[in-house]
């Protein structure tokens, strides 16, 4: 473990041995970071990196990149970027740090360079008041740095071309997709925020972040999303579609849809035929124009939350499922996080078996734990607690099982079924499942 001081921007320099120095990036590193990430990944990362180092991103500055430099060769050999943002837990906003573009030159791997940078990233994230760190990417790898499976990234389901072949051309559909026009951005934002307020986890966006999402990214930035508006034949806007204006993977010739939302009072059953037809036609137009660089489109990919109503409106024979992907989550101060979201936890109790509960709940993590005191459904205290022995506690949750419960990845009874050393009394089991409901959504993270 490297002891990190608290340097001002540009002053951090930590020796990593063998002429390697870890430091914060500055403006002179911008072009090299773009070239470096392109070499380590591929050209699909080029414009994303360029946007992040341009100074136009609403939350990322050059000093949010940590780099390791080979001082003898004067080149960057490893880097990590921190993308700060705001998430929401059942109406309670909190700060999150997303680590991305984790890259090391192949010749410099297995020297602990990423570990050293994550120590720095985590320290700076904490200094910003970020209670959670999230990351996507390589399976398992980030468990080494205190992360575990948390909220879901998406649960894709595909509608293959053969299921769309029956769409009849020439018929007038009751709904159609169109490009954005003036005023649509605010309308989309209102619908998105209206849907998000009912979710366990969602990502909030400032006005500056919304502007960046609509107009701030380079055209070929693979993190850029585009929108179509679904409207009736008389021009009434009834919903929107967010999609990826490029192929998700080189050999994955599908049109990826990231969001579909309808305004209140409009049902999916009615719009699904027109929506599928419109998406298929738009996808084929993108192939013809070269925007989707493939010989032929094989179908539509709906990268939506697992319980999205669109899936219930589709016939079972129309879709095939892809494995759900998780965000890897790190919550370094679990007690502090629980104290932050306490108002939301209290709001979860009404309507459950634990409504109006008074008493105490002690959850053992074996080497530590948490004690919660309830009075008539109010949570009076949330405090650290240490069991005197392995038998003490109303519930026992080893390793990262409590994190999975808090993030909604699994319910308590599911964790107890899969972990022999995860256990709770009947009362504790009901309380934990009431406090921490399941989450099958998909936060739209800031990238």
Q: Which tens digit of pLDDT belongs to each residue from 394-441?
A: 999 998 999 999 999 999 999 999 999 999 999 999 999 999 999 988
Please check whether residues 94 and 76 belong to one and the same domain. yes
Residue 1 has pLDDT above 60, yes or no: no
Q: What is the pLDDT of residue 171?
A: 62
Domain-ending residue, one of 281, 299, 325: 325
Residues with Cβ < 8 Å from 352, sequence gap 6 or more? 430, 434
Instruction: Give yes or no for a contact between 393 and 432, defined as CB atoms under 8 angstroms apart.
Output: no
pLDDT in tens, 219-253: 999 999 999 999 999 999 999 999 999 998 888 89
Please check whether residues 423 and 337 belong to one and the same domain. yes
Distance, CA of 79 to chain centre: 21
Longest CA pairwise span in the chain (Å): 74
Q: Which of 221, 247, 241 is nearest to 299 (CA)?
A: 247
Asked, for residue 399, whether it belongs to a domain, the answer is yes
Please check whether residues 81 and 108 belong to one and the same domain. yes
- pTM for the complete prediction? 0.93
Please check whether residues 171 and 308 belong to one and the same domain. yes
Find the CATH number of the domain harbouring 52.
Answer: 3.40.630.30
Residue 308 has pLDDT above 50, yes or no: yes
Please check whether residues 26 and 142 belong to one and the same domain. yes
Tokens of 429: 């089991």
Please compute the mean of the pLDDT values over residues 302-320 and round it to a whole number.
Answer: 87
Instruction: Give yes or no for a contact between 86 and 203, defined as CB atoms under 8 angstroms apart.
Output: yes
**What is the span of the domain harbouring residue 135?**
13-146
């Amino acid at each position: 473990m490297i002891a990190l001081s608290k340097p001002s921007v540009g002053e951090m320099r930590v020796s990593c041995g063998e002429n390697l120095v870890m430091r914060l990036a500055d403006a002179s590193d911008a072009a090299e970071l773009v070239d470096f990430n392109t070499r380590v990944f591929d050209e699909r990362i080029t414009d994303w990196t360029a946007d992040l180092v341009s100074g136009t991103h609403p939350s990322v500055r050059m000093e949010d990149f940590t780099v390791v430099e080979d001082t003898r060769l004067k080149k960057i050999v490893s880097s990590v970027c921190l993308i700060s943002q705001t998430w929401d837990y059942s109406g309670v906003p909190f700060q999150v740090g997303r680590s991305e573009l984790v890259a090391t030159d192949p010749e410099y791997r297995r020297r602990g360079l990423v570990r050293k940078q994550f120590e720095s990233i985590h320290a700076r994230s904490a200094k910003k008041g970020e209670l959670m760190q999230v990351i996507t990417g390589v399976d398992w790898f980030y468990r080494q740095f205190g992360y575990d499976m948390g909220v879901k990234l998406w649960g894709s389901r595909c509608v293959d071309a053969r299921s769309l072949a029956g769409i009849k051309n020439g018929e007038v559909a009751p709904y159609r997709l169109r490009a954005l026009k003036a005023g649509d951005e605010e309308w989309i934002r209102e619908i998105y925020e209206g849907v998000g307020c009912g979710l366990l986890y969602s990502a909030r966006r400032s006005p500056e972040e919304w502007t960046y999402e609509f107009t701030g990214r380079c055209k070929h930035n693979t993190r850029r999303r585009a929108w179509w508006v679904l409207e009736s034949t008389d021009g009434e806007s009834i919903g929107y579609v967010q999609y990826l204006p490029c192929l998700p993977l080189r050999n994955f010739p599908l049109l990826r849809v990231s969001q579909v939302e309808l305004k209140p009072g409009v049902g999916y059953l009615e719009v699904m035929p027109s929506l599928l037809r419109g998406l298929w036609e738009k996808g084929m137009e993108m192939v013809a124009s070269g925007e989707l660089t493939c010989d032929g489109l094989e179908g539509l990919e709906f990268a939506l939350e697992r319980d999205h109503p669109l899936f219930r409106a589709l016939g079972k024979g129309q879709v095939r499922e892809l494995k759900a992907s998780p965000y890897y989550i790190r919550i370094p101060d679990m007690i502090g996080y629980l104290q932050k979201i306490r108002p939301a936890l209290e709001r979860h109790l009404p309507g459950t078996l634990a409504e109006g509960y008074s008493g105490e709940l002690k959850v053992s993590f074996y080497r530590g734990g948490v004690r919660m005191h309830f009075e008539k459904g109010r949570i009076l205290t949330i405090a650290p607690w240490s069991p005197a022995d392995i038998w003490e506690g109303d519930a026992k949750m080893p390793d990262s099982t409590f994190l999975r419960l808090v993030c909604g990845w699994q319910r308590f009874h599911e964790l107890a079924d899969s972990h022999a050393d995860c256990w709770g009394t009947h009362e504790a089991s009901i309380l934990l499942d009431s406090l921490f409901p399941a989450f099958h959504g998909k936060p739209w993270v800031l990238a």
